[in-house]
Chain A
């Protein structure tokens, strides 16, 4: 998931996570029983109003939104069969049943999952939550061209010429529901280790059957969680209030402390920071501007929190066309990048240098440290590659810190003997531009925030040569190492992430980043949470999945 002004949504990072994922993955076991407790000890400390200075959500419709802003704002509104524990640290990446009564029963081959809904579930409008709503929700995603439909491609009856994805008619044959028995059976074409994580995504959050197959952002969809969306005015504000029909129907998640949440859309980070300083807002969603960080650190130290979630910022090098179809040319760029300097400069210190594609915290992560910043060596490699003097079209966005980072790349390319031509585009058109092969972008900036904590979300989505497309290409570097592609395909079928499998994923990381130098990862970005003096920071909880968990916040 790509970054927006702050970050796009991740789902977790951490060590235990993948181990949990496996289980989930339907690795042949019978279902797990429900874990208790989705909350920490801050539940019950209710207060009347939480004021947020927030970034603009892309949509307020669970079938459509794909930004952190929308996710963070509404993770107490719409819910799915599965969800995450509301706990800090790695525990927060653990899946628990939300609308499902318990973890599903999974067949031995991992291709059949059976869920049962909790009894007496209701939407915020009082209507009953039915098993068939799940199927409707997924089918609606296809009808509204949801950005999440790709996640459901392994469900039987979705793919192929006559699949639901193509026809959008009838029903998805792989989802069998029984409203009376409250059961949902999902049949897959092949085992998929991350399927339960997919069912925790917003695209699988229940909406009532009959919800129009169009953007309902300004016509709030009835909620299943503790809160409901009362109103949303795009680019202005949104208001959440308690769901009058909630009745603690999801015991695995907190009921929420604030009675009302008012989010004002303030996209300028300086303005949102100032609103919190002036006590006009309780929380600044945006990144505290680099310019104001020293002040925030010294003057408002207790109100500032800094975290690093699962993300990687990297430069792609187009492996398909000169000069970067040459290994030595790619190695040269890797040696020419002073990763710590980028952290210090454009990012104001908010980042951790990396040479890995996978972020730290994954059990598959094995730190790569081979590239020591060495301009002389980089120049030598360029010379040996025979590509010196080549013109390089370098693409980036015109927003900081990406702009500063790409200017740095252009500068370093000049230093090692290339002639970079910089193209800075607006964020809104950037990814579709570089994702189009016709652009012939030779190098550029990109970043990725995980959708869910599994190496597939990184290597398969971003660097598998078998998934290169002509447009909307998620692999703008056209990384296509046949031996590694084959390994990714093989690993895709393995649902249990054992240490041996993790070691294979680590080798994929090393092969792509070092042996073939396909890409130039340079940092894992850190972010800020900034609060007004009114907030009781003892209740602060950061979850790798939910970010700042506002539901368990409290005030002094």
Chain B
């Protein structure tokens, strides 16, 4: 609307814009705009595809286990053989004393690829278990813990951030000190301490019964220790948003605190939450691998990529595949999530891209 003043800004009417655009101007939501940007980012989409492929392949573990490898993830085959090219091959080499002479043994068979009819495609571990089967089941566990802990962590972080940012005052003080308390410990050390303590006898308090081997233990431990890493930046955003006019307007119209928090504030931090969520899955998968490697995460005989690496480290010279293959799985998964997460952030928050490019 023109004001008649030469110094004022002018806003073109929709009709004028439409004339420029040679067509009607359609309203586009920020999500649609983000998707338009994301779909032009082929690198991010490729890595999203890779992540989806990893998830699908892992999800097919039971099928592979039953119909291809013909063995379960925790089923050991010490002392057994399999057939390769018509010959019997020892799954784990025999050792001991033969006529008083020591013979070193315990070396698991290496990757057979498809030469053994689908058995031991990635070789065996020192219990005679099929590494490929354990890799897939381990992937399920790693993804369950990684994604599950990311969901819990993000949900709790959002709730805490909303409460702290909206209410301020003593609520903010209490929640911020809670964040400080967790943050005061190195994250991995805190996770190791909690994971180790809970992995001995599980958790049996307040009506909650978690066995020592339950996947919920690493999931909850990782969720807990990472809450401040998501909660703090979100709290900062909420503190800023709650001073905006649209919040004042909502309040003036009689909206209560919960309505403001969940219908006004939450949508405005949704893009940040989505980016955090994507990136924190990768981070949590790495944390799970670290915990399991140290014996404080997924408990044997269940596999995760971390436990598989731990199992392989004792045989790094004679059976390097035991550590290398799950290592590659972790690298690909984390890389795919990180690259996609970066792409998502660029799409949702173009200003960030500008900053990054500078």
A residues lining the B interface (CB < 8 Å): 289-295, 297, 306, 338, 340-353, 373, 398, 400, 403-404, 407-408, 410-412, 414-415, 421-425, 429, 433, 526
Contact = CB atoms under 8 A, between A and B. Distances in A.
Interface string B88-103: 0000111111000011
A163 B25 CA distance: 100
Contact of B314 (A290, A294, A341): A290
Contact of B79 (A291, A292, A338, A398): A338
B105 A411 contact: no
A340 B100 CA distance: 15
Contacts of B104: 290, 293-294, 297, 348-349
A411 B95 contact: no
30 contacts: A290-B106, A290-B315, A291-B315, A291-B319, A295-B317, A297-B102, A341-B79, A343-B96, A344-B95, A344-B96, A344-B105, A344-B106, A345-B78, A345-B92, A346-B126, A347-B95, A348-B95, A348-B104, A349-B104, A353-B96, A398-B295, A403-B300, A404-B126, A410-B74, A412-B76, A414-B74, A421-B211, A422-B213, A423-B200, A526-B102
B212 A407 contact: no
B102 A291 contact: no
B106 A347 contact: yes
Contact of A345 (B75, B128, B211): B128
Contact of B78 (A338, A423, A424): A338
A424 B76 CA distance: 18
A338 B92 CA distance: 13
A344 B300 contact: no
Given A291-B316, A345-B92, 13 more contacts: A290-B315, A291-B318, A306-B102, A341-B79, A346-B106, A348-B95, A349-B102, A349-B104, A351-B96, A352-B97, A404-B127, A411-B127, A412-B76
Nearest to A296: B104
Interface in B39-79: 74-76, 78-79
Contacts of B97: 349, 352, 526
Interface in B94-135: 94-97, 102-107, 126-128
B278 interface: no
Given A291-B315, A292-B317, A294-B318, A344 B295 contact: no
Contacts of B317: 291-292, 295
A293 B315 CA distance: 11
A349 B314 contact: no
A345 B96 CA distance: 10
Contacts of A526: 97, 102
B127 A348 contact: no
B186 interface: no
B9 to A, nearest CB: 70
B256 interface: no
Given A290-B314, A408-B78, A422-B299, A349 B213 contact: no
A39 to B, nearest CB: 27
A203 B257 CA distance: 72
A306 B97 CA distance: 11
B4 interface: no
Contact of B126 (A294, A345, A414, A424): A345
A353 B78 CA distance: 14
B254 interface: no
A422 B79 contact: no
A242 to B, nearest CB: 36
A36 B106 CA distance: 45
A458 to B, nearest CB: 23
B301 interface: yes
Contacts of B318: 290-291, 294
Contacts of B76: 407-408, 411-412
Contacts, number: 116
Contacts of B211: 421
A150 B29 CA distance: 80
B301 A410 contact: yes
A149 to B, nearest CB: 29
A350 B104 CA distance: 7
A407 B301 contact: yes
B29 to A, nearest CB: 51
Interface in B305-347: 314-319
Contacts of A421: 211-213
A340 B126 contact: no
A344 B75 contact: no
Contacts of A306: 102
Which of B96, B106, B213 gathers most chain A CB within 10 Å? B106
A235 to B, nearest CB: 20
B196 to A, nearest CB: 8
B300 A348 contact: no
Nearest to A341: B79
Contacts of A347: 95, 106
Contacts of B95: 343-344, 347-350
B314 A291 contact: yes
A117 B200 CA distance: 51
Contacts of A340: 79, 94, 96
Which 8 interchain pairs have the tightest Cβ spacing? A349-B95, A341-B79, A349-B105, A348-B106, A341-B78, A411-B76, A344-B105, A293-B104
A183 B165 CA distance: 83
A411 B212 CA distance: 18
Nearest to A352: B97
Contact of B96 (A289, A297, A352, A429): A352
B314 A408 contact: no
A423 B79 CA distance: 24
Contacts of B74: 410-411, 414
A407 B299 CA distance: 11
A290 B313 CA distance: 11
B210 to A, nearest CB: 13
A289 B314 contact: yes
A429 B75 CA distance: 28
Given A349-B106, A400-B314, A404-B127, A344 B212 contact: no
A289 B126 CA distance: 14
Interface string B75-89: 110110000000000
A422 B127 contact: no
Contact of A425 (B93, B200, B314): B200
Contacts of A407: 76, 127, 300-301
A344 B301 contact: no
B300 to A, nearest CB: 6
Contacts of A353: 96
Contacts of B301: 407, 410-411, 422
B78 A344 contact: yes
Contacts of A345: 78-79, 92, 105-106, 126-128
A423 B319 CA distance: 26
A55 B7 CA distance: 84
Which of A293, A351, A410 gathers most chain B CB within 10 Å? A293
Contacts of B295: 398, 424
A345 B106 CA distance: 4
A344 B127 contact: no
A341 B126 CA distance: 11
Nearest to B97: A352
B276 to A, nearest CB: 34
A425 B97 CA distance: 31
B314 A344 contact: no
A341 B94 CA distance: 7
Contacts of A338: 78-79
Contacts of A351: 96
Nearest to A304: B102
A462 to B, nearest CB: 25
Which of A342, A347, A398 gathers most chain B CB within 10 Å? A398
A344 B102 contact: no
A398 B196 CA distance: 12
Contacts of B106: 290, 344-349
Contacts of A414: 74-75
A398 B307 CA distance: 12
A270 B181 CA distance: 38
